[in-house]
Each structure stands twice: as structure tokens, then as C-alpha cells.
Amino acid sequence: MARKVVETVTCDACSKKGLEVEGTVVLKIMDDRYDLCDEHGARFRDQLRAALAPSLDAALTA
């Protein structure tokens, strides 16, 4: 009899709140990996973009 293993990935940020929301976005920083839902993925993307924007602008003009 054949068996099929299905792995469910949940959002790490939602899991801290006790929620089980499907993780659809992967955030990887060096050796750290975070599975995030669309909402948390967008939130972290926006925060990183804002934090790095001045550095990126300065590097592009150099």
C-alpha cells in the first residue's frame, strides 16, 4: 500500500499567537529561516525595505 506524506507549513509569527495560518513566504537571513503568511511577509518586507532604503540609495548614487 502506498503512503503519501503531506507536510503543513505554518506561519512562525502567527504560531506565537497560537494561530495556525498557512506559511506561504520564506524569509531567510543568513542561516535563519522563517516561514510567514502573506500578511507577515509583507509586513517584514516593508520594515526591511524602510530600514535599508537610505543605505541602498547611497550605494546606488556612489
Q: What is the pLDDT of residues 13-52, one digit of tens each?
A: 999 999 999 999 999 999 999 999 999 999 999 998 888 8
Q: Give the residue, 17 or 1, on which the prediction is more confident.
A: 17
Q: What pLDDT does 36 receive?
A: 97
Contact of 36 with 44, CB cutoff 8 Å: yes
List alpha helices for 1-62, DSSP H: 12-16, 38-61
Q: What are the distances in angstroms from CA 49 to CA 2, 7, 32, 33, 61?
A: 46, 31, 18, 18, 17
